[in-house]
Amino acid sequence: MTYQLVAENVTKTFREGRESVTVLKGATLHLSPGEVLALEGPSGSGKTTLLSILGCLLSASSGRVEVAGEAVDATKPSKLQAVRRRHIGFVFQQFNLFPALTAQENVEYALNLKGVVGESATTQAEALIGRVGLSDRARFLPRDLSGGQKQRVAIARALAAAPAVILADEPTANLDATVATQILDLFSELSRSEGRSLLIVTHDPKVRRVADRVVRIEDGTITA
């Protein structure tokens, strides 16, 4: 079977002075094209660390990581950045939008970082904002958007340059129940219609409704 995301026997140890703390202890995870996977676990279980390694923000201490069939070489920071830009889109709990840029400009900036510039970036950003239902808010600054609208902009930004994998870290944590449901439905529709793999780290039980699978991490190991 072909997987868009692979983690096999991944470990991560952080060193603090003379002490070391092992956060991941041989975590293994596979994500298929178009699959929506929910990753649950208590605080301190290692789920955010695993997400950061899968997103090429951190390097693993050991184990194998592949994104869209491309092996991640943890010994080369430039390699991590290159894989991240080519294949991964992020959605964060705090939205992480640039306050001085409009909704469309936030998406356009993400495209610029991935090598899409000029008129092509403008056209693609406009289309992505429309795809998440915000064409009438394209020129609005983040301060003039609701929480749900900000998260829609964040999703549009994550879709910039058509990444194979979208990683979402508690994307509904700052939303009320109705808006959270709308965002999850949007996530699910976009993932399945475009064949993108979606991994959602969450405490929100509503995510289970749109997930194809739910796995749990406990004490640095995937348990189910």
CATH number at residue 124: 3.40.50.300
- Domain extent at residue 215: 5-222
Q: How far apart are CA 158 and CA 88, in angstroms?
A: 8
Q: How far is residue 84's CA from residue 163's CA, in Å, rounded to a whole number?
A: 9
Question: Do residues 73 and 79 lie in contact, with contact meaning Cβ atoms separated by under 8 Å?
Answer: yes
Q: Strand 19-31 relative to strand 5-16: parallel, antiparallel, unpaired?
A: antiparallel
pLDDT for 190 equals 84
pLDDT of residue 78: 79
Q: Is 5 helix (H, G, I), strand (E, B) or coil?
A: strand
Q: What does the pLDDT look like over 101-133, one tens digit per residue?
A: 999 999 999 999 989 999 999 999 999 999 999
Q: What's residue 161's pLDDT?
A: 84
Residues of the chain with pLDDT under 50: none
Closest alpha carbon to 5 in 45, 37, 40: 37
Taking every pair of Cα atoms in the chain, the longest distance, rounded to a whole number of angstroms, is 55
pLDDT of residue 1: 66
| pTM (two decimals) | 0.92
* Cβ atoms of residues 96 and 150 within 8 Å: no
Q: How many CB atoms lie within 10 A of CB 43?
A: 7
Amino acid letter, residue 97: L
Alpha-carbon radius of gyration of the chain: 17
Q: What is the pLDDT of residue 187?
A: 85
Number of domains observed in the structure of the chain: 1
